[in-house]
Structure 1
């Protein structure tokens, strides 16, 4: 039946300030003795790995730190890290950082016990399938946005677009969401991450694959993020705002992992692959323009969103309340000082055809959209985003 559903999440999730200390118990309970810690240079420079490294060494475990993760990681970078991890005998991988670090950590932890390389397991071009869960995985996000800690997806840049590994074997064994790790995030990263999380929530809510449980997570995530996003961006030292964004991101992650994201992400992937626009900003710049196109196909859901974000008026028609949501999505991105046009990223009108062709390859994502998007639809969305023309 249509209302039948399943909900999948990591085995164990810890949330709250100071929960990074749960790593000690994990090491003891799992009797893991050789740890690979994967992160990026910025996270290490900020000192966010210091406490974790001390805990691991205090437990007498061997520790190797690989901090070579780059933003929007390529298959080449991921393969280099996989080659390094295969040269040693690890029994636990801890990923610390944003979505890039977590995605790479999940992928190489699994592929450490498989043959072949990263490219062999990609969704669009790979031919191999994962057969086991690989090494024990602990995921610790330092941003409030990607939800990568609770998904079985690993995204990689492939030149002019992106491709993914997706399999239940990529799910983390343990997730630790410690809002204190997000306190030092700069304004723009905070803004892009939080809009990314809001995009996960609204896309999963309007997805063809949504269900009653994912709706609970996505609606609460939208309410939480909408209420606190401006506070966190404009007052980065506000700890409660940071906590609420972290929780909203976690909820949105569980929701979109189960219900799926759709058109915004499908069109955002080529921006990251071809122009190296960060994932959060790619989603943010496209979010209002995609919903300006698809709103007639999800009016009832957007009316509910209007109640959640406070734009609903009883004297308006359902169609008008849905349209007000589209306008508010644009206002949100603008209020946070994020770019609102593709041209702000140096993208030219001549690039739009290739962006469209690459977006069309994201069949997995487009298949969840409440509106079937043709090539012409996708090109028009890109064109409107390029011109800053919110037509709806």
Structure 2
């Protein structure tokens, strides 16, 4: 991330933007009572929170410059999902702050800035703001493709009607908000209008009915923007997967079939506990174990490139699930638990190395929902083209499937 030498102008600019949003917030309160005023008030309040995060980021960098940037600043150890990135520093006992924990020291900083200097992450930097009790209050993520995510996390003291809210701003400025309350998620367009509402169940996402306001003005193809935004949010959340929580994206199996109405796509994206994922996808833990064992069994030093090493790991996983290779190829041992090559993912992970192979693992629990495990040894994300590929494969292998759940599985080392 390039930082100008003098940030005074930027600080003044963001201060003026914060002041402007405060004025707009006051004007919104003068609108006639009703849903429109509330929607406008919520939209401006969200913008105000994001502007404050931007201002805090610039002020933090300016203070860092004034104090003198230390190139020996500690980094997250290699081997972790965020390895190689700058961290906020060490605690008094010499240990480094964990993900989701504010940096400590005198006064415990309420701001934590993380930058990826490896170039391997889809995001360039993120800023986390914490409350005095140490809980995460807001977050801003800046992605390499020009998109951004601003997130707000409710406090029990707020009395908020939602638990967390993530607004994805595409590179073209289109905003889509994913607002979650309990297991129910609403997707709102840039004006604050609800476009869809979906509840997470043990069988995956279930579309929920909702009432559109009388003044509702439909947006052309709202699902197209929602899909793109959901993929941006899912990609970010997947980089934060841990042993206790995993990001998932669920959608209707027929959403990407030819001639399907794209405006009715039901999507749910968020993080679930391991038990919640296992409820919907019973072999999730087994796939993780196979992936870990396969990565450990392959000697990384025996392969000249990461792509070739990844191919070896993916093919070993395929054999562990489908059975030994045969000529001609035989059917998987269990047709409801199979590993299949992904042409698109193989191309994405190629990096100029011919013969790169990448797989997806499919599980059909027999509930009308199919689980797809997106095995990762590289950095590729989940694109719209990949979603179409996955949905088409599910319809081919398991006709009549109603819902699809996708989650990423990476070797844990």
User: Which one has the bigger strand percentage?
Assistant: 2
Structure possessing the higher relative contact order (Cα contacts under 8 Å, 6 or more residues apart): 1
What TM-score comes out, normalization by structure 1 length?
Answer: 0.29
User: Which one has the bigger helix percentage?
Assistant: 1
